[in-house]
Structures are given as structure tokens and as C-alpha cells.
Structure 1
Amino acid sequence: MRYFVTFLVMTFIFGCQSDKKLETGELTVTGKYCKYPNNDFIVLPFQLFKNDLKVRSDTLEFSGEVKLKDLSFGKYSVKFNSIYERLEIVEFEVNSKTQEIELCIDKIDYDLANNNLFIDQLKPNEKLKIGFFTFGCFHSEELGLEIIRKEDQYLAKLDKTEIVLSTNQIKLIREFEIELRQVPTGYCTTTDTYNLTILDSSENMELIDESCEWNGFSNLLVKLGLENNYS
């Protein structure tokens, strides 16, 4: 009798453990531009890991979603490359029947930038000109945005419009320059050429964006509220 009771207890314990191991959930993975929500991506490959072991690879397409079913409860991570070709890792835990994670395709660590940004080099009464020329199969356009430093403030001038920049807007211009320096070489049919120049000095730099993923200049104008202020 004693052995029979022991058998029942052990069966109950192991049965409970087996049920716990069988708990699974469904994960929905979505991707988006978090800073520039007006942008859409075409494809975003990613890899799913559990306890540092790769579970599967998949691809988000056309700003859509992927559903991963029958994932056993536990800690996971998703690895993907941002539009700046930096490896990003999202860690999470599957602990419910349905849950969702979001991948920010335009994520970047602005603290990794060096201290040689043109916007930071401006002295009082100096101007930073951001020349922009875009050329594609069916379009071409050339614009110039000037950032002017006064004694106690910064101005932005586009065509005939001039605005006083807030602290947050200056931060956006810094982020724009950091992003521009990180945009990788691409193979798009549209070429965006940037010329950054501190006027009346020898400081200048040309950078080319052929990724068709960033659209930095138009996004900057939107962020500054200048998208409708040029002819």
C-alpha cells in the first residue's frame, strides 16, 4: 500500500511538471519606423532565440506582421539589423497565450556618435548649410537648409522662411546629422546627396544615401515644421 501511495504521488508530481512544460503561446511580431512613422519598409529579416539558441528565422514584409505559434513559455530575444545596419536585440518573455512585440526599424543609439558634429562646431554668427540634391528615375530636386547660430539662439532658414529653433529642434538636427553619418551604402535607383558646409570655413562633407529607407531630409523638414515652406 505504501508503495502504491508513493507511486501515485510521484505520478502526480511528474504529471504537473509535464503540463507546465507544455504551456505555449502565440507571438505576433510587427515592425515599424518609430521615429519616422510616415515611412514604410519592404522587408525586415529577423531571428528568434530562446536561451541564446536560435529557434527560427523569418521576415517581416511590407510593414506587416508575423505570427509565431506554439512557443513554449520562457525567455526569448529577437535580433535584427536596423536601417543603419546595426544589430538590435529585443528581449522579452513568453508567459501568456497571446502577446506582441514591436521592432523599431529606425532605432539608433545617439550616444554612440562622436563629438565632431558640424552643428556642435558652429560659433556665434556662423552658418551650417545642409545642401540636399535628390535624383531618381522620375524626379530631381535641390534644396538648401541653413542653420544659423546667434549669440543665444539658433535659427533655421529654408527658402524665404526663417524660424527660431527650440532646444528640442536643435536636438533633432543633431540626431539628423548622426543618422546621416550612419546610413549605409545602398543600391536604390534614387540617390540623395548631402553637402554639409560651415560657410566661410574649410569644414565640409559630402554624404550619399542610396538606401531608399531613411529619407532624412524630408523627415527633418517635417520634424521642424518646414515641409510646406519651400517653393
Structure 2
Amino acid sequence: MKNLVFIFFLLFVYSLSFAQTKNSLYINVKDCRTKKQSYVSPNFSLYKDNVLIRKVNLKNQNSRIFTDLEYGEYKLEYYTLFGSETLTINISKNNNNQVIDLCIDYLDYAAQNHKPIIDKLKNEESYSILVESSGCFYNNEEKIIITKKGNAYYLKYKKRKKKLKEKELIAIRHFEIEMIIISQIYFCTTVDTYILTYNNEETVFIDRGCEWKGFYYLKQELNLE
């Protein structure tokens, strides 16, 4: 009888130990430009010790929970609007149930090998961004002109003129970097054509996607909407 009680005790201790090493990871996909859930449904690949343990297609969902995970370091591979990204996640006793918000609009700008036109401008020089949008039932055209005067930058949009703040300069730089990447992927019935003109030279980028909406969000960052 004593042996039977001892065996049950060992099984109880083992079950507690096993339960304590099983944890959960909740993944939530967002478009962080809007703070809302994303309509993009990326695939996830979850690795532990460089071994694939879960592969998930969210389809039309915006979240997924991984359960029964052991302690350790995990790598989560997923896709944003601009390509693949890898996130390292550590699950430990002090951090065993995690909620991760993934931004589908995330991009490591510092890692991109591109110098935006705004950083090439000399004193009294200007360049323009012309956006032509076309779809099944509409056509639209908008234009922004940016001019450097001394150490300051000025913007002209329709009848509005304004001096650009530092955070707005950053938004313009990010917009151009994103545009270069997004023009290489996606397909949609709506087509946005971006024409950058500097020193009488035109550079054309075409966005055939429906998710980026780069110029729309740039206008918000510049308070033009």
C-alpha cells in the first residue's frame, strides 16, 4: 500500500512539473499604422532549436494561439507587406504566457541600402512626387513638391504650403523606401503609379497591391488629410 501511495505521489509531482513547463504564445496581427487588426493573413513558421515545430496559415483570421510550448528560445518567421521577418521569443518561468502583436507594416529602414531623394537635395533645389491612381471606375492624380531652403524643407500640396518638421521628414524618407520595395510585389485591380522627378529625371514606381496605401498614410503623417 505504501508503495502504491508513493507511486501516485511521484506521478502527481511529475504532472505538476510537466504542467509548469507547458506554456502559451498568443499572436495578434495588426496594421500598426491604423492600430487595427490587419486584413492580411500571413503564414507563420515557429522554430525551436532551428527545428520547425508549427506551420500555420491564418487564412481569414487575425490571431492564433500556440499552446503546450516548453521553456526555451523560439524563432517566429512571418511575412509583412514588405517581405519576411524573424522574431526571437524567449519563454521562461517568469515569462511563460506571452501576447505578441505583429505589425504587417513593419520594415527595418536602417537595413535598407537606399538614400532618399530628400537627402540629396541641395539649397534651393526641389523634387516632386506625382501619384496617379487608376481602378475599374476611377482615376485620380495628386502631386507634392518638396524644396530645400538653407537647412529647412518646405512642402507644397495643392494650395497648401508648409515647413516640414523632423518627424515629417522621416515619414517622407520611409515612404520612398517602402515604395521601392512594394513596387516589386503584389497584384491588384487598383494601380498606383508614383513618379519622382528630380533634376529633370523621372523615376517611376508602380504599386499593384491593395494593402500598402503608402501615399494615403503619408498624407496623414504630413497632416494633409
Which residue does 1:202 correspond to in 2? Answer: 200
> Mean Cα displacement is larger for which, 161-170 or 23-32?
23-32
Give 3-state SS (helix, strand or coil) of 2:81's partner. coil
Letter in 1 for 2:47: F
Aligned to 2:48: 50
Superposed, 1:70-219 pairs within 5 Å as: 70-85=68-83, 87-95=84-92, 98-183=97-182, 184-198=184-198, 201-219=199-217
Contact 2:194/2:206 (<8 A) preserved: yes
What is the RMSD of the two structures over their aligned residues, measured on CA atoms?
2.6
Q: SS at the partner of 1:43?
A: coil
Offset at 1:101?
1.2
Given that 2:29 and 2:37 are in contact with CA atoms closer than 8 Å, whether structure 1 keeps it comes out as no
Moved more, 104-113 or 188-197: 104-113
User: In 2, are the aligned partners of 1:21 and 1:72 still within 8 Å (CA)?
Assistant: no
Name the CA distance, whole Å, in 1 between partners of 2:131 and 2:214.
10
* In structure 2, distance between residues paired with 1:105 and 1:147: 29
216-225 or 36-45, which deviates more: 36-45
Alpha-carbon distance change, 83 to 90 in structure 1, aligned in 2, over 3 angstroms: same
Partner amino acid, structure 2, of 1:82: T
Superposition TM-score, scaled by structure 1 size: 0.83
Q: Which amino acid aligns with 1:191?
A: V
Contact 1:25–1:71 (8 Å) recurs in 2: yes
For residue 63 of structure 1, report the CA deviation from its aligned partner: 6.3
- Note the C-alpha offset of 1:113: 2.8
Q: The residue matched to 1:57 in structure 2 has which SS?
A: strand
Q: Retained in 1: the 8 A contact 2:40–2:104?
A: no
Alignment partner, residue 3 of structure 1: none
Change (3 A) 1:107 1:159: same
Percent identical pairs in the alignment equals 30
Indicate conservation of the 8 Å contact 2:41/2:62, yes or no: no
**Do residues 67 (structure 1) and 65 (structure 2) align?**
yes
Where does the alignment leave 5 or more consecutive residues of structure 1 unmatched? 1-7
Equivalences for 1:6-17 in 2 at 5 Å?
none
SS of equivalent to 2:58: strand
Asked if the contact 2:37–2:62 (Cα under 8 Å) also holds between the matched residues in 1, the reply is no
Conserved 8 A contact 1:45-1:57: yes
CA distance in 1, matches of 2:18, 2:53: 17
Distance in 2, Cα, partners of 1:38 & 1:210: 23
Amino acid at match of 1:54: L
Aligned pair in 2 of structure 1 residues 118, 206: CA closer, same or farther (>3 Å)? same
Q: Where in structure 2 are there 5+ consecutive unaligned residues?
A: 1-5
